Amino acid sequence: VKEIQCVTIPKDVPLTSACLVPCGVVTGAGAVLNRANVLPGQTAAVIGLGGVGLAAVQALRLKGAGRVVGIDTVPGKFDLARQFGATDFVQAGKGVDVADEIRTLFPYSEDQKVGTFGAGGVDWIFECTGVPAVLENALEALDWGGTLIAVGQPSQTATANIRIANLLQCDRGILGTRAGGVRPHEDIRAIVELYRQGKFDLDALVSKVYPSNAFTDVLDDMHNGRIARGVLAF
């Protein structure tokens, strides 16, 4: 670790909350604040409500998004997402077409002033699972002119099958982001300051603090959807 990688923060910020910022929080929030250009009143969906997705939901609230759809296979995460600013929810899982569910919430309207081909859907989608099939399906849920932000990290060799017409005919786009385009010395300090001002909730992201020897317990709770984030305290 090089000296330049260290970022100083105020001493009044508890490290059990601050430790979430340099990876999960900047990835989710940065995808919204750095890579996207979400305008007030626009609609968005966040697929995957772990620590990364929940940070994206909070950032969408800060940007003034009108409606935010939270999507996850674990419905127990919806209450926390609602607390952070999500307005609508879709429980994903076997037999559920997430794109169809989103278009049901945001149907195509003949009265809309822009758009063609009866797209329907949301303006922005933040795919936080890193599952290629989820990304492929998410493209179908974008409204005309919408953008899909690939946030979740799959394997380095993963590929996705995209129907090009779904991009061209509806002016849709796909953007990738590595750790939310983070600029550590600017973004980490900015999020910490938002936390100190009560505008970004880090504390609620910490579902439980574990002793340092409970590493496998944290992993088990995370993989089974019992927590947003678990913190090991040394």
Is 189 among the domain residues? no
Please tell me the total count of domains within the chain. 1
Percent over 90 (pLDDT), the chain:
76
Contact status, residue 152 vs residue 48, Cβ threshold 8 Å: yes
pTM for the structure as a whole: 0.92
Is 196 among the domain residues? no
Tokens of 202: 């880090």
Is 69 among the domain residues? yes
The domain that holds 31 is classified in CATH as 3.40.50.720
Is 124 among the domain residues? yes
pLDDT digits (tens, 9 = 90+) for 47-97: 999 999 999 999 999 999 999 999 999 888 999 999 999 999 999 988 889
Is 198 among the domain residues? no
Is 229 among the domain residues? no
Is 130 among the domain residues? yes
Exposure class string for 200-212: b at 16+ Cβ within 10 A, else e: bbbeebbbeeeee
Is 45 among the domain residues? yes
pLDDT digits (tens, 9 = 90+) for 143-167: 989 999 999 998 899 998 888 888 8
Residue 137's domain spans which residues?
24-181
